[in-house]
Structure 1
Amino acid sequence: MTNTKELSVEDKLRAIYDLQLIDSRIDEIRNVRGELPLEVEDLEDEVAGLSTRSEKLKGELEVIEEQIKAKKNSIDEHKEAIKKYTKQQESVRNNREFNSLTKEVEFQELEIQLAEKQMKEMKASIEHKKEIIAQSKEKLELKSNHLKHKKLELNDIMAETAKEEEFLTQKSAEFQEQIEERLLAAYTRIRSSVRNGLAVVSIERGASAGSFFTIPPQTQVEIASRKKIIIDEHSGRILVDSSLAEEEKEKMENLFASI
């Protein structure tokens, strides 16, 4: 990116510190939202998972009920076969035919016993699945209500901060355009490597803000002269003098108040 006007070091320091104040304000806004967006996303996934599980269980119930119907039909068929074979025994001509029919009757009775046992197991499975469905339904209702409240909470926060965040994001982009690529890259790198997002800090009581390491007097004089960009050797942050910081803070506070 090529700037139309070459900025002095002091102007660069003011621009980079202003950018820091704007980005820190955006961080504050996003911190207010905190983990809410992730909570909402997790709840949405959980609700979807519970809904899918309930639908799957309902589908399994329908399959089992169809299987029970089929077993009932097969029992009726086996009973009809028993009647048929029993009647045939009345007109047999020898013991071999009678015994053969007796075996058929016994086989049909065994088939009925097996079908009844399977039906009993299926009915137990249905009751178990119904219990799980009821529990899932209760859990789904709780999670859905929780999700509804979390969404409302997030929407309220978004409504309160959306305008300000949009304005500040635009301002951040504008200030980035004023800063040379090399300095902006250093700012971005430092900001992403520190937990509080502070890449540019002022001198407070002889040390960089948030640090206990004293900055040598000669370095403090250089920082105050605003003739070159100075990096704190301990924290790795870009340093500005407290007077410049106060001036820019007041300017930015007025900007924030105008939103």
Structure 2
Amino acid sequence: MAKKAETVEEKLRALYDLQLIDSRIDEIRNMRGELPLEVEDLKDEVTGLTTRLEKLNNELQLIEEQIKSKKNDIEEHKAAIKKYNEQQKDVRNNREFNSLTKEIEFQTLEIELAEKHIKEFKANVEHKKSLIEQTSERLDVKSNHLEHKENELNGILTETEREEKALIKKSEEFAAVIEDRLLNAYTRIRNGVKNRLAVVSIERGASAGSFFTIPPQVQVEIAARKKIMTDEHSGRILVDAALATEEREKIDDIIKNLK
């Protein structure tokens, strides 16, 4: 197990090293940005459209079966009419003739009703076909977009995954040498700021990224590396520029060897 940082300078170096490693991890993750979520959303959309398309095709098939059934019914009604017409030739009285006439009228009405239903079904078929075409087009667009985004994400992952895993391991190694109290403060500050910088160097008389000038006497104390100093405006832990340069060079070499 790595030896814990004991002097203030060792603690400052360890904190800044950890910040540099974690910032590189942040950079890699920012490269991915919203891509993983975008890919998941697109997958959900493609799944939803595929399910909708399948449902529409099933509904279309059902309607076409109903049309076929109605056409069969019409043929049966026509056959019945033909049969009743033949029977009317052999009737013995008006009662039988009228009864057959009613049957013929009933069968004729059934044909008209079936034809009406077929007309309605055919209109529904056209509507379903239109929906199927629209859904298919949207599915094609979304599928192509998904493929593009997956390729983009996979490219970034292939390029950075190995480095990210190695950096996470290094981050754990650097964190292990920092006492819990400081590590907790580092994590709290890091989680509380947008750029996730908990440890920053002095640049042109101010903490990096800040416009507030640090008094010369405070800068001297920071450069002395005798105690942990924080920026009174942002709460970030401060290190002097010389220490920052040395540690950046060291961490840059480590990162290069991880790639």
TM-score (norm 1): 0.90
> Any residues of structure 2 matched to 1:31-46 within 5 Å, and which?
31-46=30-45
- Structure-1 separation of matches of 2:230 and 2:99: 103
Equivalent residue number for residue 23 of structure 1: 22
- Structure-2 separation of matches of 1:183 and 1:117: 82
Equivalent residue number for residue 205 of structure 2: 206
SS of residue matched to 1:258: helix
Shift in Å, 1:15: 0.7
Shift in Å, 1:19: 0.6
> Any residues of structure 2 matched to 1:127-206 within 5 Å, and which?
127-206=126-205
AA aligned to 2:133 is A
Q: Which runs of 5+ in 1 are unaligned?
A: none
AA aligned to 1:43 is L
Contact 1:3 1:180 (8 Å CA) reproduced: no
Contact 2:78 2:107 (8 Å CA) reproduced: yes
SS of residue matched to 1:213: coil
SS of residue matched to 1:146: helix
> Any residues of structure 2 matched to 1:62-81 within 5 Å, and which?
62-81=61-80
Shift in Å, 1:95: 4.0
Q: Which runs of 5+ in 2 are unaligned?
A: none
Shift in Å, 1:97: 4.2
Shift in Å, 1:4: 5.8
Number of equivalenced pairs:
258
- Structure-2 separation of matches of 1:233 and 1:111: 90
Contact 2:200 2:208 (8 Å CA) reproduced: yes
- Structure-1 separation of matches of 2:252 and 2:214: 28
- Structure-2 separation of matches of 1:3 and 1:76: 91
SS of residue matched to 2:211: coil
- Structure-2 separation of matches of 1:258 and 1:50: 46
- Structure-1 separation of matches of 2:165 and 2:100: 88
Change (3 A) 1:251 1:6: closer
Shift in Å, 1:256: 1.6
- Structure-1 separation of matches of 2:82 and 2:142: 56
Residue identity (%):
69
- Structure-1 separation of matches of 2:228 and 2:99: 107
Contact 2:12 2:228 (8 Å CA) reproduced: yes
The root-mean-square deviation of aligned C-alpha atoms, in Å, is 2.2
Equivalent residue number for residue 220 of structure 1: 219
AA aligned to 2:10 is D
